[in-house]
Amino acid sequence: MESGLEREIKIRIASPPLKKIEEELDRLAKTLGTEEQTDYYFDKENMELTKGDKALRLRMTDTRSELTYKGPRLSDKVKARAELSLMLEDPESMRKILLNLGYNIILIVKKRRKNYDYRGAVISLDRVEELGDFMEIEANALDDDGLISLTKELMKLLKVQGEFETRSYAQLLALKTGRSV
Amino acid sequence: MESGLEREIKIRIASPPLKKIEEELDRLAKTLGTEEQTDYYFDKENMELTKGDKALRLRMTDTRSELTYKGPRLSDKVKARAELSLMLEDPESMRKILLNLGYNIILIVKKRRKNYDYRGAVISLDRVEELGDFMEIEANALDDDGLISLTKELMKLLKVQGEFETRSYAQLLALKTGRSV
């Protein structure tokens, strides 16, 4: 249901342990809930979406399913891209329609995500299967510099050490598994 | 939400007037409701779906929206094809995602449809804009011959004169408007 520009920063957490950051955030921010998310990424045989820096994702959790299209990245500094989403009541039929249109599942990303609201920004603590622990800060209302300031402030507050990662989980997982996504 | 094989016969009604058939069916069958349906048909620039005898349709009525994929026709005698459908809460986001994936609206079909249940079959009385009046009989549980028998019986009962039409409304409208669908 959310449509618009997604603007986020992802940090690959070096330290402290995720549990420690979680305890801090439980105190400092408003918990929005925890989900086990399985993301199915689709593309055509010719990888037209991947080549165009686009993504088509079916996200399934215990309680909801969502289809999302992501457009090409618009910024080098942070991860900013057009995003269109809609909730699905019947993800299995959607999956079958996509298969019939020639879209195959090229990658599956599984993670546990805990979301927080912090001054209007959404902080996600992610434990991603095969990739490790990450923190994402999404603030669609801020510009690039505002988001970078907020992120640095948060890292200081939470004593987080880690590097900025502009690639998506799908890209990182594809790199790891030797797939050209 | 229905998925499976669609099997139906369409009759282009020559006589009597649609109103007359409707009055008869109101007596003989169970009314399932009347809808104004607007169907948006999508295809890629290269018309890959049309060329493969496939269809991707977004149907919108006053009360619901539905995305449907139809596979190639499987029978010459009746219109039988694989069909996958799912209900959408947010058709506008679906339309935007399809546009971003390279699917454009190639045709819009508008009709008033009144549905009846008659011994397990669904009878639809359709007044299609720019095409005229039709009766469709859909009975996915019957085989081709069973459906043909039922149709002949109904035509006799309702005193309907008309020809069988195996082409879809989308095809008929495309022919009429000179589009190569």
What is chain B's mean pLDDT, rounded?
A: 93
Chain A residues with CB inside 8 Å of B56's CB?
97, 101
Domains of chain A: 3-173 (2.40.320.10)
CA angle B117, B119, B122 (to 5 degrees): 35
What is the radius of gyration, based on Cα positions, of chain B?
16
Q: For residue B71, give the chain A residue with the closest CA.
A: A100
User: Chain B within 8 Å of A89 (Cβ-Cβ)?
Assistant: yes
Q: Do A84 and B90 touch (CB under 8 A)?
A: no
User: What is the ipTM metric for this complex?
Assistant: 0.88
Q: Which two tokens stand for residue A161?
A: 């050490």
What's the CA gap between B140 and B8, in Å, rounded?
A: 8
Q: Do A90 and B87 touch (CB under 8 A)?
A: yes
| Candidate from A78-82, A166-170, B76-80 with smallest mean pLDDT | B76-80
Tell me if A132 sits within 8 A of A13, measured CB to CB.
yes
User: Chain A within 8 Å of B112 (Cβ-Cβ)?
Assistant: no
> What is the phi/psi pair of residue B43, to 5°?
-155, 165
Tell me if A134 sits within 8 A of A92, measured CB to CB.
no
Q: What is the pLDDT of residues B47-83, one digit of tens each?
A: 999 999 999 999 999 999 999 999 999 877 788 899 9
Instruction: Give the model's pLDDT for residue A1.
Output: 43
Hey, is B134 helix, strand or coil? strand
Whether the upstream peptide bond of residue B16 has omega within 30° of 0, thus cis, is yes
What's the CA gap between A17 and A60, in Å, rounded?
A: 27
Q: Do A97 and B86 touch (CB under 8 A)?
A: yes
Q: Which residues pair with A85 in a beta bridge?
A: A68
Q: Do A93 and B85 touch (CB under 8 A)?
A: yes
Q: Do A1 and B93 touch (CB under 8 A)?
A: yes
The one-letter code for the residue type at A147 is: L
